[in-house]
Chain A
Amino acid sequence: MLKIFSKFQKVIGVALTGIALVLTQSLIPTSANAAQVPLNLANEQGMLWPCSFNPFNPSSAPYSVGVTYETLSFVNSLQSGKSTPWLATSSTWSNSNKTLTFTIRDGVKWSDGTALTSGDVAYTFNLLKKNPALDINAVWSVLSSVTASGNNVTMQFAQSAVPYYYYIAGQVPIVSQSVWSKIANPVTDPIKNPIGTGGYIMSKCTPQNIQWTNNPNYWQSGKAVVKVVNMPAFLSNDTCNQYLATGQSQWGSQFIPSIESYYVKKKAGNTYWFPPVANVSLFPNLTVPGLNDVAVRKAISYGIDRVAVNNIGEYGYEPAASQTGVVTPTFSSWLDAASSTAIGKSYDPAKAESILKAAGYAKDAKGIYAKAGKELAFTLSTNGGYSDWVAAMQVVATQLGKIGIKITVAPIAASTFYSNLYAGKYQLAYNAESGGPTPFYEMRQWLYSKNSAPIGTAASSNWERFSDPAVDKLLDQYGATTDSASQHSITNQLQQVMVNQLPVIPVLEEVDWFQYNSKAFTGYPSPSNPYAQPGLYNIPDWGYVLDNLKPGA
C-alpha cells in the first residue's frame, strides 16, 4: 500500500532544511580576478547562446566577426566609409574599376599559430562562391573571380560595383584555409571553436554566457589589452537594463526608457551616445490608389511633426529625419543644399492641405480629403513587437488626421509584418533599412528597381515598389565611380528624387544604442572621435572598438 500522505510531512521537513541550507550559503565565494575587472557587456538578444560561432551565419556572426575573425579593411559608417587597413595593408581599383587588388599583411598569425596568407583570403571568397548560403552580403552577385598570387589577392568584377568595397573588404570575415578545408559542411557546421586572427579568443561558452580572453599573440601590439570579456545572455530587456544600471555591466547597447534617471544618474561615469545611422521611414505602397499620387505623399510628409513624434514616441532618442533621406549629423557633408531649400519647413500642415486641394482633393462630410468619392484613408502597419514604434505611429496617425488623411495604425506580429512587407501586401508601413557607410547604400536599398519584386513575391528591399529607369541609371553610375565629386553629385540628384517624388517618407533617424561607463574602461567611440559604430550588434565594429579599449585608471 502507498503511504504517500504520512510521508508528506517528512518531505516538507527535508525541503525546509534544504531551503535553510541554501539561505545560509547565500554568500558564496566568487573567484577573485586580481589583476583587472572583466568587461561585461549588456546586449539583450532574447535568447540563450547557442554557442555557435560560424562567421557566415547572420545569427552567430555578431559573436565572432570583429572579435575573433577580422576583415580586410575596417570601413567606418560614422565617417562616410573611411577605410582603415586591417588584414590588407592596401587596396587599389584598376581596369576601369572592374579589378580590385588587395595586398595582404605580413606577420599576421591565426590563433592556432599558422600564418595568414593571401591563399586564405582567396579561399574565403571562393568558399562563399561554392556555398551561396554563406554569402550573406551577396558579394558574388558582382564578383567574377578571386585569385591569390604572392602577397596579393586580385578580384575581378562582372560589373563595376565600387560600393561593394564596403561588403567585400569591410564585412566578409577572413577564415583559415587549413581549418575550413577540413570542415565537411561549412553551412551547417556550428564552428564551436573559432580560429581567427583577431584580438580575442572565445574561451568559454555556456547557454548563459560567452567569454572571450585576449589573444596573447595578437599581431597589433598594444591593442586588445582588456583581458576578459563576458557577454551574458538576456531574455528580457528589463533584466538587461537592470544589469547595466546596477553597474555590473560597463558597456551596453540597450533601449532604456528615461535613460537620465534610470542610468546616467545611477553611477559616476555612466554615459550614453546614440549616433544616427539610418532612417526609420514610412514606406507607401506605390501600387495602392491614393498613395500612388505624389501630391498625397507630399501632404503626408508635410503633415508629420517629426520632432513631436520623437519626443512622444521615442523619449527624444531618435532625431527627426529629413525628406532628403540623408542622415544628419552622421552624413551632413552629403546634404544637398538645393533639396533642403526645396523642402523648406519640414512640418507645414497648411502647405500639406493646400497641396491636396491643388491636386483636386476636397474634404468630405467626415472631414477627410477625397477625390472622385475615394477617401484618403490608409492602414499603417508596424511591427507590433516594438512598442516605441507603435507609439510613434499613433502620433503620426493623430497628426495626419488633423490634415484630413485618415490613418489606422495596425501593430502586427513581427513575422506577419515582415512577410506582408516583403510581399507588398500593405498600404503604409513603418520600417528601417540597414543603410551603410554613405547615404547611397540606403538610397539604393530604397530605390533600385532590381531590389523590388512584383506584388506577391518577396522583395528584399524597395518594398514600396519604386521603379524609375533614370534613378536606376544614377545608382549604376555611382557604382562605377571612385571619384568623390561624382559620388556627391549623384547623391545630390538622388536627394532631389526623394524630395520631388517621395518614394519613401523618412520620419525618424535610427540610432545605435550605446551606453558605457567611462571610468571602468576608456577608449570608447565618442562624438568627437566616432571611429566605429558602438552598438554591440554592429559587425565588425564592436570587435574593433574592443581592440581599442583600455582599463580605466
Chain B
Amino acid sequence: MKFLLRRVGFLLIALWAALTLNFFIPRLMPGNPAQAMMAKFHGHVNPLALKALEVAFGVNTHQNLISEYFQYLGNTLTGNLGVSVSYFPLSVTSVIAKALPWSLALVGVATIFAFAIGTVLGAITAWRRGGILDNLMPPVFIVVSAFPYFWVGLLSIWLFALTLGWFPLLGGYDETATPTFTWGFIVNILWHAVLPAFTIIITSIGGWILTMRNNMLTVLSEDYVKMARAKGLKNKRIIWQYAGRNAFLPNLTGFAMSLGFVISGAILVEYVYNYPGVGFMLLQAVVNEDYALMQALFLLITVAVLVSIFISDILTAVLDPRTRVQT
C-alpha cells in the first residue's frame, strides 16, 4: 500500500512539473502565432492580413504570464484545451480527436507486435545459444535497427507501392472514401496500414530481440534454471515460466515508455506515408507556434508515458515480489 501511494505521489508531482514546463517552454519562442501563420502562407496573402490574424487570435490582448498560467492549469484540469490557431477556428480537442485514433491504431499495434515478436525471438535465440537463429538474428537486426525509419519507408514505397503496385502509395485509407463502419472500409484501412506498420516493426524489432536475448542469457545461467532442468521440467515451461518471466522485467519498463510515445505517433512514418496521425501534427504545431495544440499534444504524451510507467511499476511489483519489500 505504501509502495502504491509513493508511486501515485510521484505520478502527481511529475505531472505538475510537466504541465508547468509545457506552459513556459513554448512561450520562449520568438514571434507570435499570427506571424507564424503569415510565414505559412508563402506570401500568397495580403501582408495586411497580419493585423486581422492578430485580432482573430487575440495576440495583443496580453495578460500577465502568472494569471495566464493559473488559467491554463484550471482549463487543463477541466479538459478545456483551447482553440488551435493552425486549424483555426477548430478546438484542439476536435483536431486531436480526428488524428489520434490513427496513430494509436497504427503505431500502437505495430509497437506491440514489434515488442511481442522481438521478445519471443530474443528468448528463443538465447535458449538456442549458438544455433542458426542465434548466429543469424542478432547481427542482421543490429544492422536493420540502424536503418532510419524514413529510409526503410521510402525503400518499401518504391518497391511495394511504386514498382510492384501491391500496396497504396499514401494515406490511411483511399483518400476519396468516406470513413464508415463497413467491412470494405476496414480492409481498406488495413491494406493502407501494412507498409507503415511493416516499417515500424522492421526498424524497432531489433532492439527488443537484443535486449531480451541478453537478459535471457544472464537469467539462464542462474541456479534456479539449472534446478528446473535438473527437476526435468519441460523446456517450454523453463523458457517461459522460469527464465522468460525474469528476463522480461527490464524490458517491460522500456516497453511502457515506448507505449507512452505511441501517442506522439511516428513523425517520420506519418510524413513518408502521408498518414493522418498526430506525429506530424505535433511537428506542424511547433512550426506554426500553435501553443494550444502543442501543449495539448505534449500533455497527452507526458500523461501517456507517466501512466504507462506507473502501470509497468505496478506490473513489475506483481511479477517480481522483491520490488515490493523495499521501504
Contact = CB atoms under 8 A, between A and B. Distances in A.
A46 B53 CA distance: 20
A47 to B, nearest CB: 6
Interface in B42-82: 42-53, 55-56
Nearest to A463: B47
A58 B48 CA distance: 11
Nearest to B49: A136
Contacts of B40: 59, 414
A477 interface: no
Given A5-B245, A133-B52, A136-B49, A208 B30 contact: no
B272 A239 contact: yes
A133 B191 CA distance: 44
Contacts of B108: none
Contacts of B46: 136-138, 167, 171, 434
Q: Which of B29, B38, B176, B281 has the most CB of A within 10 A?
A: B176
A9 interface: yes
Given A12-B116, A26-B166, A415 B47 contact: no
A6 B176 contact: no
A431 B120 CA distance: 55
B274 A235 contact: yes
B271 interface: yes
Interface in A415-456: 415-420, 422, 431-434, 445, 451
A246 B162 CA distance: 9
A12 B120 contact: yes
Contacts of A239: 169-170, 272-274
Q: Which of B87, B173, B318 has the most CB of A within 10 A?
A: B87
| Interface size range on B against A | 35 or more
A211 B176 contact: yes
B30 to A, nearest CB: 5
B210 to A, nearest CB: 17
A2 B318 contact: yes
A383 B36 CA distance: 12
B244 A419 contact: no
B52 A47 contact: no
A38 B55 contact: no
Contact of A451 (B41, B47, B188, B275): B47
A325 to B, nearest CB: 15
Contact of B86 (A4, A47, A54, A243): A47
A26 B167 contact: yes
Interface string B189-227: 011001000000000000000000000000000000000
B172 to A, nearest CB: 7
Given A25-B191, A235-B280, A419-B31, A187 B89 contact: yes
A132 B57 CA distance: 12
Q: Which of B51, B52, B87, B166 has the most CB of A within 10 A?
A: B52
B124 to A, nearest CB: 10
B319 interface: yes
A328 interface: no
B187 interface: yes
B55 A415 contact: no
Contact of B45 (A11, A54, A136, A206): A136
A458 B176 contact: no
A9 B187 CA distance: 24
Contacts of A138: 46, 48-49, 51-52
A415 B39 contact: yes
Contact of A59 (B29, B88, B167): B88
A12 B205 CA distance: 14
Given A47-B284, A235-B274, A419-B32, A5 B248 contact: yes
Interface in B162-190: 162, 166-167, 169-176, 178-179, 184, 187-188, 190
A209 interface: yes
Contact of B55 (A18, A133, A137, A460): A133
A372 interface: no
A538 B39 contact: no
A52 B240 CA distance: 53
A415 B28 CA distance: 12
B99 interface: yes
Contact of B47 (A5, A46, A189, A433): A433
A204 interface: yes
B170 A461 contact: no
A232 interface: yes
Contacts of B111: none
Contacts of B288: 415
Given A12-B120, A141-B48, A246-B162, A5 B241 contact: yes
A134 interface: yes
A415 B29 contact: yes
Nearest to B284: A47
A48 interface: yes
B184 to A, nearest CB: 7
B185 to A, nearest CB: 10
Interface of A: 2, 4-6, 8-9, 11-12, 15, 18-19, 21-23, 25-26, 28-30, 38, 46-48, 50, 52, 54, 57-59, 62, 132-138, 141, 167, 171, 187-190, 204, 206-209, 211, 230, 232-236, 238-239, 242-243, 246, 248, 278, 383, 385, 413-420, 422, 431-434, 445, 451, 458, 460-461, 510, 535, 537-538
Given A28-B191, A206-B175, 8 more contacts: A8-B120, A138-B51, A187-B89, A208-B172, A239-B273, A415-B35, A419-B35, A461-B47
6 contacts: A22-B191, A26-B166, A52-B88, A230-B175, A414-B287, A415-B39
